[in-house]
Each structure stands twice: as structure tokens, then as C-alpha cells.
Structure 1
Amino acid sequence: MVPSGKIPRVVIAATGSGVGKTTATVALMGALRARGLNVAPFKCGPDYLDPTYHERAAGVRSHNLDGWMADREAAVATFARASAGADIAVIEGMMGLFDSATPTGDEGSTAQIAKWLDAPVLLVTDASGVARTIAAVAAGFARFDPAVRMAGMICNRVGGRGHLDLLRAAAPEIPIVGGFPASPELVFPERHLGLLMADESNVPQRLLDGWSRFAAEWLDLDAILEIARSAPTLESDRASDLGKIDSVLPRCRIGVAYDAAFHFYYEDNLNRLRSLGAEIVNFSPIRDRELPEVDGLYFGGGYPEAFARELSSNAAMLAAIRGFSTRGGVIYAECGGLMYIGDAIQTLDGGRWPMAAIIPGVAVMSDRLQALGYVEVETRTDSILGPAHTRFRGHQFRHSTLEGAGAGNRIDTVYNVTPRWGGAPFAEGYRVGNVLASYVHAHWASNPGVAEALVRSCAGSHVARQPAA
């Protein structure tokens, strides 16, 4: 077992979005795993979908590392905990290497995470139609921030071996450790929020196997391993901000909606609940007819609109959730979860599908993005997430709006939400009894007290387990 502070590690960054960073990352993970190595996967930023590809390629859950929603010590603690015992950690970046939450700094960027983890960087670039210019690209990235160690380049979409040799002959300041030719037969499918969740139905194993073979053939894996092993010992002032998982008896049971419609969860959030004594019990709002015996429910984001017919037709589950709420059960819902526990979902074709009808309002889908970016939340009153003025950070990425929730003051709003990129704060965080729902995907590393408050709320909700009268 390699001590977490000495874990070999490498960041897979990119010159920008759309150059093949995720594909290169998944291919590398698969090739390393095929060599018999235990790979610890990570994703920079708030993305939920790329980690599902990591899990398929590496065989273990991927963790998000976000420099805006968590501070350095929380991010390093997550890395140390999730990489313990692995042979190598592979961290996929977000957007371009230096793209961040601000146009003038590195807050929330891949570069920031690379510096926090003291990890060498492999830069993925689209090399189609490029020759000597590769040297200029390398020079810019090598010199822009000396604190970021640029250790290698992966040239994507090359024309063949000859093209890759030509790029190497240009003698770029960042050595080329391989590349990939265009392979349309292995392209991963996409949908309106980006890549599809990487389950077997969406991403056949042949695609993952194909990219693993490509990586073994086209990348210098030995050189990449040497680069990863060159990372120095990682120092942290806080080994972990979580207790030891499963070190205490469960204080409560929390049902987590997990299926094709609901699967957007930060693994760090779930680990925080576990460390506080919560037993996580997964269930499927699509397939299951009744709820498990739990003290609270957690509905994450996902694609409820894509499964609106199935969710709406499962009347038994909808009734069980309404009954749970009526009996005082704690329910926390984010984005897709909010849509599901609202009155209905209106899909792009105009169909209107009744849902759990706990939060008043209809989630109306649009073919245009309705919100995108980081937000900071401050609660206005006491709630299941803690006392008034509790603050935490999160992210929004949605194509729907909740219409009718504010009509006639039908519902309380608990949150004041401030967008990171400017704009006026707005009221959100819809509350009915012990139910709290929002479009915000929260990351509790920004305030560990939120997870503690949610566990306390669930533990104190014993009435929820009682059968309906």
C-alpha cells in the first residue's frame, strides 16, 4: 500500500473544452488498470457525468475536487482519503487548464488543483491541422504559470504516426508522451447536458476497451508513470475533515434516490453523511414500488425529464413519498430532485407528467440553458440544513424552471442565492414542512456543518418510519 501523501499522481488538463480530455483520461485509466494497477480517479470542478466514465474505466468511484466549492485543505483531504492504497491517481481537469471562476485568477481552475496537489500536468490538445505551431502552444502553457509543472503533452486527433513524429520533431518545451488518431467509431454519445451517464446501456464496454487498447498502443505509459511518480510527498495540515467511515453506529438511515433518473451526487457529500453515522440506503424511484425504512430522503439531480413517463406512472412510489412527507419525514432534493417532488414536469414536447406534488410548481423544460455557474447560498431561517445564516457553496446547470411556485405565496423560500459571476441575489430553496428543495447542487466541503445538520434532522425524525394512519 502506497501512503496517500506519496501517491503517484498526474493531472490530465486541456487547452480548452472539446479537445478530448475526458476520452484521453478514460483511455489512460483503462490502460493503467489493464496493467494491473489500482487507479484512483478524480474530476476537477462540479461535473457529475465524467466521474461515471471514470468509474467504468477505473472500477472505483471518482471524487470531485473543486477549488471554489472547497478550500485547499478540504480538497487535499478528499484526495488523500480517496487515493489511499492506490498505485496511481489520475485527476481529470475541467475546461482549459487555466479557466477558472474569475477571468484574472486561478480560483476554481484545474491549475489551482494541480498546485494544491503538487501534481505534474499532462496537457491534451487538438493537434488536427497543426505542425510546428505545437511548439508555440507548448511554450505558452509552459511559461504562463511557473508554479504549474507541465510535464507532458497528449496530441489528440493526429493524422497518424507520421504526424505524431512531425509534432515531436518541432521540439516543444513540453515533451509529447503520445497522442490519438481520430476514431469516430469509438466516440462517446452525448446529450443536452454533455456526456451521457456511462452505464452499459449508454456506453457499451467495447468503447471503453477500445480506448484502453488505443492508450496502450499510442501513449508512452512508462513515461507517464515516471511523470506521476515524480510528484513529491503531499503535505496536508488536515489529514481528513471526516471521521473514519463506519466508525460509529448508524444514527439514522437516509434513502438516496439512485437510478437512471437520479445519479448526480458528489461522493464526498455521501461520505460525509456516512462518517456522521448515517446509513445510506439506495432506492429507485423508477423501479421500486415502496420506500425503504428510512428517516430521511435525499434526491439528487439527474434526468427526470428523460424518464418522466416512468416516474409519473409509478403511482405507488409517488404516494409513498407524499406519505413520508406528510408524516414529517425529512426530504432534501436538488435540481432533478426538485423537479420530481414538484407538481409535474412539462417536457419539451409539451407533455405534462404529474409527480410527487409536495413542492407546488411545474418544472418546465426548455431547449435552452436556464442557469449555469457557481452560487453561494445563505439561509434566511432555520432549516433542516442548520440555523439561519448558514452559508455554503454550490453549482447550477439546468434546462428547466419551476413555474407557479410563488403564486399566491404558496411556499416558503429559505435561501438567498448569490451567483458567483454577478447578478442580483434571488430567493430560492423551497420549503414545505421538513422538505427542502432547490436547483442548487451543494458541495458540503464548503461548510461541513450542513451535512451534520441534515443528519441531526433525519435522526430526530422518528415519526417518518411510522405507517400512515
Structure 2
Amino acid sequence: MLISAPASGQGKTTVTAALAYYHRQQGRRVRVFKTGPDFIDPQILAYASGQPVYQLDLWMMGEVHCRELLYRAAGEADLILIEGVMGLFDGDSSSADLAQALAVPVAAVIDAQGMAQTFAAVAFGLANYRPGLAFAGAIANKVGSAGHARMLQEALPVGMPLLAAMSRDEAVGLPSRHLGLLQADEIGDLDARLARAAELLNSFTPCVLPEPVTFADVSTNLPPRLLQGKRIAVARDAAFSFIYQANLDCLRAMGAELLFFSPLADSALPEADSVYLPGGYPELHLQALADNLAMKQALTEHHQVGKAIYAECGGFLYLLDSLADKEGQRAAMVGLLPGSAVMQTRLANLGMHSLQLAQGEIRGHSFHFSKLETTLEPIAVSSPQRSFGHGEGFFRSGSLQASYLHLYFPFNPQLAAGFF
């Protein structure tokens, strides 16, 4: 089922993680997906389910690919949970659009604090706003007592179940910062929070699931082995952790061997043909990145001999001359790209993008708070899906290619292979 809500901040991630954790405890094999281009929620959900979390987005990935991922998951799981994005009907490619396209029933998480019969009115509205949407039932969050849960359940329309009533407890909330929740490995008591949340799912009523659904067979077209024998060094640590699992799968499917390293802690690169620097939080680790002169030198030498480097968002910022945090503290970065960036207190760009290169189109998204100043001219500029977004420059310097964009490799594997 797809876990949605009337709005952001209703508790979708906490409830989805609690459901995954609870059913995993019951011995079920659980797989979780996240609607839209999110990197942080999937870390929490992967911890809760014990399995990698993949994204689902009709525009960025295409419906056929979304169906393929669900079909493959259904072959190995007892329960598939999909966490929605924003409110159920929000956005150009909404959670409701995804649920209808993929024939997945929707469960609505509703913050019931300070609410009685109106809870049922909200649930009824979500269930009936769009004809043909399969509505599995409601999940009440922040329920005050057994009497409160009973009142909510009795108010629901006939035939609409209360799937769970989760007791109010501030101890299960997930802490956040400017780009969203804290990363899973930053929450020291995450296991205790999830265990408590799973326990609270059954506080007042038994937690129930909707009827099973069937997914039609989807034939898989494997990408060509364009990276056969290539070794790719992939940055992965607290500063660089925003990466689609599907991107890593795609690179491996094309024959690449992936070797992980830490720009924060390591003094050398693995023996590799190319480097992948994904996004993350370099602004939170400025001094450590600046002080690791050996890694900066290793990347410089890698570039000087003409080996490929592909960087996106946080990885892109790391390759500039310097980066400053929102307090104005500036530190020297690798210096392979001319220019600098400074973190802003407000969002600089957000949304889906299409990038057209000589090799074709690839899609992805942009989400950053930094402002870039560079003398380097982009070789291409992305087209934002929404009118209020602005295009992102795609830069090339020798064997190095970089931009703010988080690109989704399976959309065009052949083009992605060219980055490496």
C-alpha cells in the first residue's frame, strides 16, 4: 500500500518506518519505496526494513520502469510499502497519480491530535476526491487515548477501515535540518525510536493490512555492458550520501565494479578508472574536507591523467575552489573547477529537470540551498519541469563532468555510462 496524507508533516515517514519495522519483527519480508526524488527518508526506511529503498516517480523514471521495480520487489517480499510525497494529490506527478497508474491501494495518515469526527471527513474527502482511486483506509497518528481511537473509528464511513491508531509520543519523532530529516546514521537512538513507534501502532487497535494486490509481469531489458571491466570509485560517507540505489544497480548492470571511499577520512582513492562524487552535506564538514589535503591531491592527480570524474550537487561543490556555509565560514575545496559557492538560508532551486546532451536526454532533480559563482561556461542547461524553477548548468572540464543535478541513470543508461 501507498502511505499518503493530507499534507506534509502528518507523520508519513514515521508511520511507514514503524509499519516496516513492525512487520519485519513479525517475520515478514518487507520492501519499501519512496515517491519522488528523496535521499534522506529512504535511509530511515532502509534501516527499518533491512532492505535498500528505491524511488518511484512517473516523470523522472517512467511508468514502465516503476512497474518493473514493483514487480521485482513483489517476487521477493510479503509486504510492499510506498511512502508518498507531500499531500496525496499535490504536485504534477502526485502520490495519487502513482497509486492509480500502478494500481496500488492508498492508506492516509492523518494527524488526529485535536480532532474527532472531522478525522472521518478528511479521510472521506481523500478517498472520494478522485474517482477510481483505490483507498485502503485511514491511519490515525498522535491519538490521545483508547476512547479517542474508538471515536475516530466509529466516525469513519461504513467500509472504510481504521488500519492503525498510533499513540502520541514525542519520543518517536524524527529530527530534521534544512534538507529534511537527519540521516539515519546521525540518529543515535534510531532503533529505539522505531521499536517504540512499531509498538505504538498497536496501542489501541490491532494494526491491519489491506487485501493483497497482483502486479502484472514486466519484462526486463538489461542495459548494454558498456562499463565492462571498469572500476568506479564512489564517494560514500557522512558528507556524500545522496545517491539513488538504482544508479548503483545500473552501473553494476553495465559491468562496472564499484569501490567505495570516504573523502572525509581516506588519504587515497581506490585503484579505479573513474570517480563518482554524489550529493550530500559537504557544508557540514567543511574543515574536515579542506584539511584532507591528500584526498584533494589524489583527485587532482586522477583528473590530470585524464581519468573521468562525475559529480553532482554536493560532489560538484566539493570540486570548486571554495565553499562557504550559511554563517560565511569559507574553506578551500579541491579546486578542479573555477569558482565558489555559498550556502543560503533560503532554497535556491527545487524540482524535476530534463537534461539534453549530445547523447540524448536524461532526467533528474535539483534541490539545493547554495549559490554558485563561476567563470566556467556550461555545455548545456537543464529544462525545469515546472515554470517557477530555473535551469541548472552542466559543466565539463576535460574528463570531469558536474552539475547541481541528481540524475537518474536508468532513464538513459547509455548516456550515464559516458560519465565514467
Q: Above 0.5 in TM-score? A: yes
Contact 1:77 1:241 (8 Å CA) reproduced = no
Question: Structure 1's 449 and 344: CA in aligned 2 closer, same or farther, altered over 3 A?
Answer: same
* Counterpart in the other structure of 1:162: 147
Task: Give the deviation of 1:197 after TM superposition.
Answer: 0.7
Task: Give the deviation of 1:447 after TM superposition.
Answer: 2.5
* Counterpart in the other structure of 1:6: none
Task: Give the deviation of 1:427 after TM superposition.
Answer: 6.0
Contact 1:188 1:203 (8 Å CA) reproduced = no
Report the Cα distance in structure 2 between the residues aligned to 1:171 and 1:205, rounded to whole angstroms. 33
Query: Bigger shift: 74-83 or 360-369?
Result: 74-83
Question: Structure 1's 183 and 274: CA in aligned 2 closer, same or farther, altered over 3 A?
Answer: same
Cα deviation digits, residues 324-362 of structure 1 (max 9, x gap): 011111111110010111111111222111111011111
Report the Cα distance in structure 1 between the residues aligned to 2:179 and 2:191, rounded to whole angstroms. 22
Report the Cα distance in structure 2 between the residues aligned to 1:73 and 1:277, rounded to whole angstroms. 23
Contact 1:69 1:445 (8 Å CA) reproduced = no
**Residue 419 in 1 paired to residue 384 in 2?**
yes
Within the candidate set 10, 24, 43, 1:33 is matched to 24
Report the Cα distance in structure 1 between the residues aligned to 2:414 and 2:73, rounded to whole angstroms. 21
Contact 1:348 1:367 (8 Å CA) reproduced = yes
Contact 2:107 2:139 (8 Å CA) reproduced = yes
What amino acid is the match of 1:172?
Answer: P
Report the Cα distance in structure 1 between the residues aligned to 2:273 and 2:105, rounded to whole angstroms. 44
1:96-115 aligned within 5 A: 96-101=87-92, 108-115=93-100
Task: Give the deviation of 1:430 after TM superposition.
Answer: 1.4
* Counterpart in the other structure of 1:437: 402
* Counterpart in the other structure of 1:129: 114
Question: Structure 1's 166 and 423: CA in aligned 2 closer, same or farther, altered over 3 A?
Answer: closer
> Matched residue of 1:271: which SS?
helix
Contact 1:375 1:418 (8 Å CA) reproduced = yes
Within the candidate set 297, 309, 324, 2:287 is matched to 309
Contact 1:374 1:420 (8 Å CA) reproduced = yes
Contact 2:280 2:314 (8 Å CA) reproduced = yes
Which TM-score applies when normalising by structure 1?
0.85
> Matched residue of 1:32: which SS?
helix
Cα deviation digits, residues 309-331 of structure 1 (max 9, x gap): 11111110010001101111111
Task: Give the deviation of 1:93 after TM superposition.
Answer: 0.8
Contact 1:164 1:179 (8 Å CA) reproduced = yes
* Counterpart in the other structure of 2:2: 11
Task: Give the deviation of 1:218 after TM superposition.
Answer: 4.8
**Residue 239 in 1 paired to residue 219 in 2?**
yes
> Matched residue of 1:328: which SS?
coil
Cα deviation digits, residues 126-178 of structure 1 (max 9, x gap): 11121111222122112122322101100111221111101111133532112
**Residue 395 in 1 paired to residue 352 in 2?**
no
Report the Cα distance in structure 2 between the residues aligned to 1:40 and 1:290, rounded to whole angstroms. 36
Let me know the Cα RMSD of the aligned residues: 2.0
**Residue 220 in 1 paired to residue 206 in 2?**
yes
* Counterpart in the other structure of 2:193: 207
Cα deviation digits, residues 248-299 of structure 1 (max 9, x gap): 9942111110000001111111111110001111111001110001111111
Gaps of 5+ in 2: none
Task: Give the deviation of 1:57 after TM superposition.
Answer: 0.4
Within the candidate set 324, 334, 344, 1:346 is matched to 324
Report the Cα distance in structure 2 between the residues aligned to 1:378 and 1:18, rounded to whole angstroms. 35
Contact 2:226 2:414 (8 Å CA) reproduced = no
Contact 2:232 2:257 (8 Å CA) reproduced = yes
Cα deviation digits, residues 199-238 of structure 1 (max 9, x gap): 15555321122112222445633x31xx1x421x2114x4
What amino acid is the match of 1:415?
Answer: A
> Matched residue of 1:199: which SS?
helix
**Residue 192 in 1 paired to residue 170 in 2?**
no
Contact 1:63 1:82 (8 Å CA) reproduced = no
Task: Give the deviation of 1:240 after TM superposition.
Answer: 2.3
Report the Cα distance in structure 2 between the residues aligned to 1:31 and 1:426, rounded to whole angstroms. 42
**Residue 363 in 1 paired to residue 320 in 2?**
no
**Residue 44 in 1 paired to residue 35 in 2?**
yes
What amino acid is the match of 1:22?
Answer: T
Question: Structure 1's 445 and 116: CA in aligned 2 closer, same or farther, altered over 3 A?
Answer: farther
Question: Structure 1's 219 and 13: CA in aligned 2 closer, same or farther, altered over 3 A?
Answer: farther
